[in-house]
Chain A
């Protein structure tokens, strides 16, 4: 068996060159990772109405996901499943997602008047969705879990509208 006891020093030979290589390699890797993250994470501007429409669809898709999660949670919480602490986190997360997608869409420059109108329409739906989820979160924090299905009811028509904007209508 070639080898030595675990943990004992292996052959020496670490030089400044190796240390400098390590620093350079780390810097290159770090730079590469940062460039990849930046390229993947940036919100790009919309150059055409079609591009803007795609961004609206993405926003609607994310908002639909948050709203559907909140609806599932409202029904389950009212049925006595889970704990109030858990449902609170679910609603806070859904509210956070809605706030985040609203802010992202608002930051994109609409390229023409049609896009302006589309933004106004979608924004209204997003505001209403955020209001529903907010009311669910407040009721859960107050321990009023029985009222959740009633509070979630206004979400039903919003789901259909968001599905249309997201291009996912059945």
Chain B
């Protein structure tokens, strides 16, 4: 019974924890501009993140070590270094976007400018990482993230033309007035939002923090293959409400205040309060995960003691890296950088760095020296390789498309 409850809690946490600032921004922006015509990119990213998160979780459960703890050992210092440089840059940029997202959620609730909230948010993130137990932290914000179900309820309340939505979803096409380069630029942004590298750093290192063993493989798979797709449905409902409310009105979503507007329109004060709690939980939870991921990747590469399962004094360098990442995010945001723009750029840069994150996972998950009888099966390898091809294409096309479309303008 307690095992079943544990599995259910894991699934709920995975659903609530799936959405972050990247999904909130990219899904609403794309829904308002292309309807559900780019939902395929989200679904493709969902397949990819499920496959690779399962692999990285399996590596953690079987070896007792996080995937990137093994990258340098398996692929050597130079390959590991390329991985580290890209991951730290992208993760810090994502952390900046998440902290900005939390500040924006506070601004929406109080109308006090986000810049006044940013230092407080940074201190709060640091305090939670320093003081709160890993499992409490993971479950609390994951469960609160379920408040984003308000988007799905709002969609229902809008009484949309379901057949028109299905048509957009099943027969994707470029909207009139939009160019193909812009269409594919946003496809890469959505794909990048679903496959943000920190998600696998955190999932794999979190597995070690939770002391997963082979006995936990079933729980891990249920979390990934049930929780993530249901979390993906939240992203899809954000896209759908934007398609229903904003597309006919020619509204382009470039503010978080617009993302939650359909919920306020349909569900009133209570709906707005619930969705703002969801936005806070999604961005705050992701800020914790990205800050920890920055510490995990650096500490694992250099072989330092890491993790929240040891006292901070015993993992001092790990905590210094976490604090340095938070400080970098603070400084960047205090330049008055727009968190939504930071998010958009972080998604594209994340797409660029994807091969450096996901290729090593595929290599290690296929290494019998590490994985024994738990190496990838044929289906995992076939699907993983196919997704990797898409990842490489997306990574090569990201910057040319960003320049060509002037970042999606």
Contact = CB atoms under 8 A, between A and B. Distances in A.
B81 A21 contact: yes
A125 B135 CA distance: 55
B310 A7 contact: yes
Given A6-B66, A21-B78, A21-B81, A68 B250 contact: yes
Given A3-B64, A93-B255, A76 B264 contact: yes
A103 B377 CA distance: 57
Contacts of A168: 177, 250
Given A86-B108, A89-B108, A40 B407 contact: yes
B71 to A, nearest CB: 10
A115 interface: no
B268 A82 contact: yes
B303 A10 contact: yes
Interface in A21-75: 21-22, 25-26, 29-30, 32-33, 36-37, 39-41, 58, 61-62, 64-65, 68-69, 72-73
B407 A41 contact: yes
A26 B84 CA distance: 10
Interface in B43-101: 62-66, 69-70, 72-73, 77-78, 81-82, 84-86, 89
Interface of B, helix, strand, loop or mixed by DSSP:
helix
B166 interface: no
B372 A1 contact: yes
A40 B69 contact: no
A72 B265 contact: yes
A13 B406 CA distance: 43
B349 interface: yes
B303 A11 contact: yes
A81 B251 CA distance: 20
A130 interface: no
Given A10-B303, A64-B250, A1 B261 contact: no
B307 A36 contact: no
Nearest to B73: A10
Contacts of A2: 63, 369-370
Contact of B265 (A6, A41, A76): A76
A64 B306 CA distance: 51
Given A7-B315, A83-B269, A90-B257, A37 B69 contact: no
Contact of B268 (A13, A39, A73, A81): A81
Contacts of B261: 69, 72-73, 76, 90
Interface in B163-212: 177, 208
A14 B77 contact: yes
Contacts, number: 148
A163 B230 CA distance: 38
Given A4-B65, A81-B272, A167-B177, A68 B251 contact: yes
Contacts of B406: 40-41
Interface in B245-297: 245, 249-252, 254-255, 257-258, 261, 264-265, 267-269, 272, 276
A26 B73 CA distance: 21
B360 to A, nearest CB: 14
A2 to B, nearest CB: 5
Contacts of B335: none
In the complex, which of the residues A36, A37, A88, A92 has the most CB atoms of chain B within 10 Å of its own CB atom?
Answer: A36
Interface of A, helix, strand, loop or mixed by DSSP:
helix
B219 interface: no
Interface magnitude class on chain A:
35 or more
A143 to B, nearest CB: 12
A69 B110 contact: no
B304 interface: yes
Nearest to A141: B111
Contacts of A29: 85-86, 89
Contact of B208 (A6, A21, A62, A89): A6
A68 B249 contact: yes
A46 B252 CA distance: 24
Contact of A25 (B62, B85, B251, B302): B85
A3 B268 CA distance: 54
Given A6-B64, A72-B245, A86 B302 contact: no
Contact of B251 (A6, A40, A69, A84): A69
B302 A14 contact: yes
B304 A9 contact: yes
A26 B89 contact: yes
Contacts of B310: 7
Interface of B: 62-66, 69-70, 72-73, 77-78, 81-82, 84-86, 89, 107-111, 177, 208, 245, 249-252, 254-255, 257-258, 261, 264-265, 267-269, 272, 276, 299-300, 302-307, 309-310, 315, 345, 349, 369-370, 372, 399, 402-403, 405-407, 409
Given A81-B264, A81-B265, 7 more contacts: A1-B372, A3-B63, A61-B250, A65-B252, A83-B269, A83-B272, A86-B276
Interface of A: 1-14, 18, 21-22, 25-26, 29-30, 32-33, 36-37, 39-41, 58, 61-62, 64-65, 68-69, 72-73, 76, 80-86, 88-90, 92-93, 97, 163, 166-168
Across the A-B interface, the 3 shortest Cβ-Cβ residue pairs: A9-B303, A85-B111, A10-B303
